[in-house]
Amino acid sequence: MSITTDEVRAWIAENWDTDLTLGAWWDRLADAGFAFPAWPAGFGGRGATAAEARTISGALSAAGVIGPPAGNGPSMGGPTVLAHGTPDQHERFVAPMARGREAWAQLFSEPGAGSDLASLATRAELDGDEYVITGQKVWNSFADLSEWGMLLARTNPDVPKHRGISFMMLPMDQPGVEVRPLVQMNGIAEFCEVFMTEARVPVANVIGDVGDGWNVARTTLAHERSNAGGGRARGVVSVGAGGKAGNLDRTVGELTELAAHGTDSHAQRNEVLLSARTHIALARELGITADPVVRDRLVQYYVENQVYSWTGLRSRDNAKSGRPGPEGSTMKLQLALLAHRSRDLSLSMLGAHGMLAGDDAHAGGRYHMAALSSFAASMGGGTNEIQRNIIGERTLGLPREPADDRDIPFRELRRS
Ligand SMILES: Cc1cc2nc3c(=O)[nH]c(=O)nc-3n(C[C@H](O)[C@H](O)[C@H](O)COP(=O)(O)OP(=O)(O)OC[C@H]3O[C@@H](n4cnc5c(N)ncnc54)[C@H](O)[C@@H]3O)c2cc1C
């Protein structure tokens, strides 16, 4: 029988205790199968249907408690390893991640391989029962706070570019891995460059077949798009996973308090767009709600947000049941367009004050910060142009983009 909201509420009343450490709370969520409900039992889930998963996350959000571990592992890595990994790999990688003990970085993009990811040049050469990795990755979110890297590396340069890639779990803490944080224009160093110089990965850490990494990565990317566009459950307090973030031994009471004041909130740092309600409140504060142009723009923004949010429900249901659908790209594109609209709307309402940042700015710089962060939405997880290509090819069935390098061995490709 399906779980009910009352049952989840009763469980929260019995288990949520502000003196618990974050680690202990995440253990409770995982043991109850409430961390990632659609995942199997033993991995933070209970094999729940999409509707049940929604009931559980809805009740957690309504209670304002800390949600399951956040980050790349839960949002895209876990579903990938569950789909393509062996039972041993599920135990080794997914089980600790589902309890928030280990964080994962996505080591896909390279200086010469972003949209054209299959052109990646990081090499993985077999040496006994290990791969030796040499190359550079870039724009890797939270790589400095991660225990594992989901690495795409080229294991065979003698076949066409999509075929010689393997997906493997790279231990980040080893001498051959150097992580350098990059400061973005919003002042936050969320992502990093990762340099690998003869770093080592056991063959046992290859997820899926050697040379089939492109196929494995497509699962990761589908979940990434779907999550990027699908948004987060409202109200739930989001805390990043992993030991390096330094939160596991803090109490959940302290962390919820910090989130409420926005001082250390993962959620606030990642605010790439602001809700219609926030914009309406801003218009009221500024005394401009009678302006017909402002009213028109607010209504338009409200309507687009509603459509986005309802499509998001469908997209999230698909993702939770392990089948991210084509809405993923539509949602991701829509999120990026809304983020830019949110930026333009709030800055135009603020007028000249919109040029101020930090404590001098309205609301302590919240609008300015979201405006500077809005660009992340149209690039991370694949740019708007790439989402349009995916929608055209996979959803509308349009002809594929012409490419003359699909059948040429990677070694023979001309690269800049
Ligand atoms: C906030 C953020 C977080 C990120 N996190 C990660 C991460 O954790 N891990 C990771 O591996 N990467 C990450 N990335 C990298 C991201 O995936 C790449 O930035 C993205 O795929 C674009 O690649 P690029 O920057 O190399 O741009 P390019 O691929 O060089 O694109 C440049 C421009 O050309 C356009 N273009 C390229 N090809 C086509 C085409 N075929 N048709 C039409 N237009 C095209 C693009 O749309 C873009 O406007 C992140 C990026 C951001 C902004």
Q: What average pLDDT score do residues 217-231 get?
A: 82
| pLDDT tens profile 179-214 | 999 998 888 898 999 999 999 999 999 999 999 999
Percent of the chain's residues with pLDDT above 90: 75
Residues 325 and 354 in one domain: yes
Instruction: Return the pLDDT at 64.
Output: 92
Give dist(CA 55, CA 36) in Å, integer: 12
Kind and range of the H or E run holding 214:
helix 213-230
What is the sign, positive or negative, of the torsion defined by CA atoms of 38, 41, 45, 51? positive
17 Cβ contact list (under 8 Å, min separation 6): 252
Give dist(CA 310, CA 316) in Å, integer: 10
Tell me the backbone φ, ψ of residue 176, rounded to 5 degrees.
-80, 5
| pLDDT tens profile 116-173 | 999 999 999 999 999 999 999 999 999 999 999 999 999 999 999 999 999 999 999 9
| pLDDT tens profile 347-376 | 999 999 999 988 889 998 899 999 999 999
Tell me the backbone φ, ψ of residue 392, rounded to 5 degrees.
-60, -45
Residues 306 and 284 in one domain: yes
Range of the domain at 241: 1-67+236-267
Is residue 243 classed as helix, strand or coil in its secondary structure? coil
In this structure, the residue with its CA closest to atom 43 of ligand 1 is: 385
Instruction: Return the pLDDT at 266.
Output: 40
Question: Is it the case that residue 79 has pLDDT exceeding 90?
Answer: yes
Residues 178 and 123 in one domain: yes
Contact 183, 115 (CB under 8 A): no
Q: Is residue 415 part of a domain?
A: no
Pocket test for ligand 1, best of 115, 150, 170, 384 (most atoms within 8 A of CB): 115
Q: Is residue 91 part of a domain?
A: no
Give dist(CA 394, CA 392) in Å, integer: 6
400 lines ligand 1 (CB under 6 A): no
Contact 161, 98 (CB under 8 A): no
Catalytic residue among 110, 224, 271, 327: 224
Instruction: Return the pLDDT at 56.
Output: 95
Nearest to 212 by CA among 159, 291, 267: 159
Question: Is it the case that residue 395 has pLDDT exceeding 80?
Answer: yes
Which atom of ligand 1 is closest in space to residue 109's alpha carbon? Answer: 11
Residues 186 and 263 in one domain: no
3 state SS for 257-281: HHHHCCCCCHHHHCCCCCCHHHHHH
Residues 286 and 334 in one domain: yes
Nearest to 62 by CA among 119, 115, 9, 128: 9
Q: Is residue 243 part of a domain?
A: yes
Which atom of ligand 1 is closest in space to residue 142's alpha carbon? Answer: 8
Contact 172, 149 (CB under 8 A): yes
Q: Is residue 323 part of a domain?
A: yes
216 lines ligand 1 (CB under 6 A): no
Least confident of 95-104, 221-230, 356-365: 221-230
Residues 251 and 292 in one domain: no
Instruction: Return the pLDDT at 270.
Output: 67
Instruction: Return the pLDDT at 397.
Output: 93
Q: What average pLDDT score do residues 305-312 get?
A: 87
Amino acid of residue 388: R
Give dist(CA 95, CA 100) in Å, integer: 9
Residues 57 and 110 in one domain: no
In this structure, the residue with its CA closest to atom 6 of ligand 1 is: 140
Pocket test for ligand 1, best of 108, 137, 139, 271 (most atoms within 8 A of CB): 139
Domain count, the chain: 3
3 state SS for 89-116: HHHHHHHHHHCCCCCEEEECCECCECCC
Contact 77, 150 (CB under 8 A): yes
Instruction: Return the pLDDT at 290.
Output: 97
Supply the CATH number for residue 172's domain: 2.40.110.10
Nearest to 305 by CA among 272, 259, 273: 273
Q: How far is CA 174 from CA 56, 149, 199, 200, 283, in A?
A: 38, 12, 7, 8, 52
Residues 158 and 135 in one domain: yes
Question: Is it the case that residue 231 has pLDDT exceeding 70?
Answer: no
CB atoms within 10 A of CB 379: 14
Give dist(CA 140, CA 91) in Å, integer: 25
Average pLDDT, the chain: 91
Q: Is residue 333 part of a domain?
A: yes
Residues 36 and 120 in one domain: no
| Cα torsion through 59, 61, 63, 66, rounded to 10 | 120
| pLDDT tens profile 12-67 | 999 999 999 999 999 999 999 999 999 999 999 999 998 899 899 999 999 999 99
CB atoms within 10 A of CB 271: 20
| Cα torsion through 146, 370, 229, 78, rounded to 10 | 10
| Catalytic residue status for 130 | no
Instruction: Return the pLDDT at 302.
Output: 97
Query: Which residue do the tokens 């009352």 mark?
Result: 6
Residues 341 and 308 in one domain: yes
Tokens of 272: 């790439």
145 Cβ contact list (under 8 Å, min separation 6): 103, 240, 242, 244, 245
104 lines ligand 1 (CB under 6 A): no
DSSP state of 393: I
Q: Is residue 105 part of a domain?
A: yes
379 lines ligand 1 (CB under 6 A): yes
Tokens of 56: 């559980």
Residues 277 and 329 in one domain: yes
Residues 110 and 179 in one domain: yes
Q: Is residue 166 part of a domain?
A: yes
389 lines ligand 1 (CB under 6 A): yes
Q: How far is the CA of 405 from the centre of ligand 1 (A)?
A: 20
In this structure, the residue with its CA closest to atom 30 of ligand 1 is: 114
Nearest to 196 by CA among 162, 151, 156, 163: 151
Q: Is residue 388 part of a domain?
A: no
